[in-house]
Amino acid sequence: MAKRPADAEHKGTQRVGRGDVRSVREMTLAFSRIDQRRGGGHGRRALVQYLREEVAGYLVGRFPDDRTLRDMFSAAAEASYLSGWMAFDNGEHEIAEPYFALGLKLAARAVDAPLSGHILRAMAHQALDLGLCDTALNLSSASIAGQRYQSATPRERALITVVHARCLAATGQKNASARALARAEDDLRNAHDGIEEPTRTFFFGEASLAHEMACTLRELNDHKGAIGQFERGVRTRGTEFKRTHAVTLGYLGATQIATGTVEEACATWSKALDAIEEGIYSGRARQRVVEMRQLLSPYRRRGIPAATELETRAAGYLRQVA
């Protein structure tokens, strides 16, 4: 039997029931949907306030049974993780880290191995973006270890495995990365409506898998394969996932220009700016604009009109969000 959380949790004065757990999960999902549409820079402070003023009180309340207690700690862990993810997405890395760490601690108290794997996957993703490839590999390896993978649902297995594939690619392990990509595809193929997935995986489907596969192939210098997967992600992503759509377009443009297709890259980046300018508050999206300007610099000097037009738009956008 799993170790019971400390009895001290039962000594509070506020009674906490199943409805309270549902409320926390519903609120977290609502913030997660906002994050997908608008980026982590929109709504995170409100989520933090909710964590401090509502959720913290639940954690020291009186619970009718251990199941409700563990479920509340799990719900609180997801909310803390999401706050960390939103900070990461907005480039606020020092803020993200303690929320990820708190999420891991709460997930451990809840004895929720798949959630721990989900959070470790996010931490690995952050480490990759910061260029800490060995750290990312260690975190992603932990995310798929033991019950974190074995107890997870197929969709969540696919998510943590494809990020592990990216980390393997970033550390030069081509064959192991290819095997992990194949496993992630198999895992997602096994997901179906008859399996109840945690709501935290609602965003992960064919488009997200294609995006992560493209990033992995790009790490392996397979630009043609990466372009194909980025295009698949753009083609299959739903309209409610605008932030990731913009980021994918940014990566696609950068990969296209690496192959010398400047006009294609400019057209792609123009679409990325269209998406970003609709009101996306995301450090990762902003970084794609910065990268675009850097990669276009040689072509602006050659007087290519599309490059000059994009530079004007990008510079104007960055001035507005500075």
pLDDT at residue 77, rounded to an integer: 98
What CA–CA distance (Å, rounded) separates 191 from 158?
9
**DSSP string of 74-135?**
HHHHHHHHHHHHHHHHTT-HHHHHHHHHHHHHHHHHTT-HHHHHHHHHHHHHHHHHTT-HHH
Domain range list for the chain: 13-111, 113-190, 236-322
| Six token digits for residue 285 | 């999206």
Give tens-digit pLDDT for 61-71: 999 999 999 99
pTM: 0.93
**Residue 311 pLDDT greater than 50, yes or no:** yes
Who contacts 111 (Cβ-Cβ below 8 Å, separation ≥6)?
2, 3, 70
**Residue 12 pLDDT greater than 90, yes or no:** no
**Residue 8 pLDDT greater than 60, yes or no:** no
Token pair 């400390």: residue: 6
Residue 15: strand pairing partners: 62
Residues 117-133 as b/e (b if ≥16 CB within 10 A, e otherwise) read bbbbbbbbbbbbbeeeb
CB 71 within 8 A of CB 110: yes
pLDDT at residue 11, rounded to an integer: 54
